Amino acid sequence: MPKITQAKIAILATDGYEQLELTQPLEKLKAAGATVHVVSLEAGQIKGWDKDHWGDNVAVDKTLSEVSVSDYDALVLPGGQINPDTLRTDDKAVAFIRDFYNSKKTLAAICHAPWLLIEAGVIRDRDVTSFKSIKTDVTNAGGRWHDQEVVTDQALITSRNPDDLPAFIAKIIEEVEEGRHEQRQAA
């Protein structure tokens, strides 16, 4: 596995994140050498959703009010239905995602997390994928939807579901190694 030992990566989530879509990137990115922080709206712990029932808790390392875009080299947005639906109603979370996109650093969203990209106004004219049930939301927001395990458009990485996690995580590592994507247009 490639090493990204100097990288700092934020995973932005709240209660209802899809269990594997947070825990696997957290474990694999740390194993690759990155410093990874779980960032949420409030301190304490957040509870995962595991297929059809509540899952495990994960400790929050930093609150959104304690971080800035300049602190991180990449931002990962896990899906699930509850997590991104809650986050997209929080103005600070949406602004953080938009600012991260505009920083031209790696931004990765899986499953239902492209709802957050839509809300942040960064999906128009981008090649993306998502969980199939939000395909219409993505295309209505101007995204070019593809049914592939991972789609990358200038360091904007998207995947469909937990089955795509190996490709999703590998692409995050690759894009972080490449650094900023200066050619990416701001939202």
Active site annotation includes 111: yes
113: left (phi over 0), alpha (psi -120 to 50) or beta: alpha
List the catalytic residue out of 26, 111, 113, 165.
Answer: 111
Greater pLDDT, 154 or 109: 109
**Percent above pLDDT 70 for the chain:** 98
- Model confidence at 118, in pLDDT bands (50, 70, 90)? very high
> What per-residue confidence (pLDDT) applies to 5?
84
User: What sections of 81-178 are H helices per DSSP?
Assistant: 82-87, 91-102, 114-119, 135-140, 165-178
Reply yes or no on whether the pLDDT at 180 is more than 90: no
CATH classification code of 8-178 = 3.40.50.880
Supply 101's token pair.
Answer: 């996109």
What is the Cα–Cα distance from 48 to 56, expressed in whole angstroms? Answer: 5
Residues forming beta bridges with residue 150, ordered by sequence position: 159
In the chain, where are the structural domains located? 8-178
Q: What is the DSSP string of 87-103?
A: HTT-HHHHHHHHHHHHT
Helix (H) or strand (E) holding 180: none
What is the Cα–Cα distance from 14 to 38, expressed in whole angstroms? Answer: 9
Residue 15: CB atoms within 10 Å? 18
Reply yes or no on whether the pLDDT at 1 is more than 60: no
